[in-house]
Amino acid sequence: MQSRLVTIEEGKDPTTNSIRTNQSRVFPSRLLRSMLVLLVAGIVLSIISIRMNRNIGLRSIVPGTQQPCFQVPISLRNLIKAPSNYMHSMNDSQLLWRASFVPQIKEYPFKRLPKIAFMFLTRGPLPLSPLWDKFFEGNERLYSIYVHSLPHYVSNFSTSSVFYGRQIPSQMVEWGRMSMCDAERRLLANALLDISNEWFVLLSEACIPLHNFSIIYRYISRSRVSFMGAVDELGPYGRGRYDINMLPEVNISQWRKGSQWFETNRNLAVDIIKDTKFYPKFERFCRPACYVDEHYFPTMLTIQSPNLLANRSLTYVDWSRGGAHPATFGKNDISKNFFKKIREDQACIYNNQPTSVCFLFARKFAPSALEPLLQNSSNFFGF
C-alpha cells in the first residue's frame, strides 16, 4: 500500500510542474496570468482533496492505477475488461464479496459474447494439457481457463499453452472436506470477476473432453438448466450421511447427493459463492464419512432452485468396478469403440427431450492415455 501511494504522488508532481512552466511561457498577458492563478489554485485544491480522500481511507479501496485519479476518465471498457493477471491480493472473504456483485439491469449496454469458464481443480500437474490445448484451439473468444492447484505447486506451462498464467491464488485442499468446496468457490469467484463468463464447468486433471468445442459450447449454452448432479439416494451412502443437526435449514427429504463435477450458469454460481446460510451447517455436520463436496451444492441448489437443475452431471465416470474410487483408464483402454459407448450408448433428457448425448467430459484418464488420445482425437472426438 505504502509504495503505491508513493508512486501516485511521484506521478503527479512532474505533471503540475510542466503545466505551470508551459503556460507561463506561451501566455504572457495579464488576463491569462490571472487565469493561471486560478489554475494553480485548482491544482492545489485537487491535491488537498486527494490528501483528504486518503486520510478518510477512500484511496485504499480505489482499484490500483498508476495515474492521478483526476486524469483518468472512467470508461465502461475498463470496468468490464477481463482481469489480465489472475494473481491478486484479496483473501477469500474479500474475493467472495467482490465476486458477488450482480448488475441489476438485465440488458447489457454492450455486445457481450458469453464465455464458458473451464475451472481445473488439480493437485499439481495437468498431464493431459496437450489434449486440452488442441481442444481449445481456434475458440479463443469463447472460453476462459482457471487452475487451482495445491499452493506449493509451481507450474511450468510454456507460453504457447492455454494454461500459461491461468493459475489462481490457491490454498490447501483436503479431498472430501470443506476445504474442497472452498477451492471450488474460489474458482467460481475468480471466474465471476470476468463479466463475460456465463457458464462455469468444474474439471480435474484426469478429465478429457468427449466432443469438439463447438458441440460442447452449443450443448451448454442452449440448455435451459444447469448440470448439477442431484439425487435423493436411499441407503448408507445417500440419506445415511444426513445429520439431524442440519435442521432447520435442511431436512432429510431435501438431502441430495451428486458428483462434484458440475456445470452452472452465472446466477447459480453467484448463489454458490454468496451462501452463508447453509455453509456453517455443512461445515460442522457433514464430515467424513459424509463427503461434503458430494452434498453441499446439490442440496443447497435443490432447495433454492430445483427447476434450474438437470440433476445430472456432464462428466462420465465409471463406478462399475466397485470400491471407493472410480476406474482409471490408461493407454490400453483407449479405442474408438470405448468412446462410442460413452458418447452415444446412453439415454437422458436434454431440454425436456430424450437424447443419447449425455456426457461432454469423462474421467479418470491416466497420463499414459495422452499419446493415443492426441493421435486419434479427430477420429474419436472431432477435433
Ligand X SMILES: *[C@@H]1O[C@H](CO)[C@@H](O)[C@H](O)[C@H]1NC(C)=O
User: Which residues contact ligand X by CB under 6 A?
Assistant: 91-94, 156, 158, 212, 214-215, 225, 251-254, 302, 306-307, 309-311, 334-336, 372, 375-376, 382-383
In whole angstroms, the minimum distance from the beta carbon of 124 to ligand X comes to 10
Q: Which is nearer to ligand X, 144 or 311 (CB)?
A: 311
The gap between the terminal CA atoms of the chain, to the nearest Å, is: 47
Q: Which is nearer to ligand X, 46 or 376 (CB)?
A: 376
Q: Which is nearer to ligand X, 50 or 282 (CB)?
A: 282
Cell of 133: 490445448
In whole angstroms, the minimum distance from the beta carbon of 211 to ligand X comes to 6
In whole angstroms, the minimum distance from the beta carbon of 380 to ligand X comes to 8
In whole angstroms, the minimum distance from the beta carbon of 147 to ligand X comes to 15
In whole angstroms, the minimum distance from the beta carbon of 14 to ligand X comes to 34
Q: Which is nearer to ligand X, 135 or 261 (CB)?
A: 135
| Cβ proximity of 228 and 210 under 8 Å | no
Distance, CA of 221 to CA of 225 (rounded, Å): 10
Distance, CA of 44 to CA of 16 (rounded, Å): 10
Beta partners for residue 316, in sequence order: 362
In whole angstroms, the minimum distance from the beta carbon of 55 to ligand X comes to 20
Distance, CA of 72 to CA of 65 (rounded, Å): 9
| Cβ proximity of 297 and 270 under 8 Å | no
Q: Which is nearer to ligand X, 179 or 254 (CB)?
A: 254
Q: Which is nearer to ligand X, 3 or 253 (CB)?
A: 253
Q: Which is nearer to ligand X, 147 or 309 (CB)?
A: 309
Residues 6+ apart with CB under 8 A from 112: 195, 196
Q: Which is nearer to ligand X, 112 or 336 (CB)?
A: 336
Distance, CA of 326 to CA of 208 (rounded, Å): 15
In whole angstroms, the minimum distance from the beta carbon of 158 to ligand X comes to 4
Cell of 145: 481457463
In whole angstroms, the minimum distance from the beta carbon of 231 to ligand X comes to 8
Candidates 364, 219, 232, 344; CA nearest to 298 is: 232
In the 8-state DSSP scheme, what is residue 89? Answer: -
Distance, CA of 178 to CA of 284 (rounded, Å): 9
| Cβ proximity of 206 and 316 under 8 Å | no
Maximal CA-CA distance, the chain = 93
Peptide bond into 289 cis (omega under 30): yes
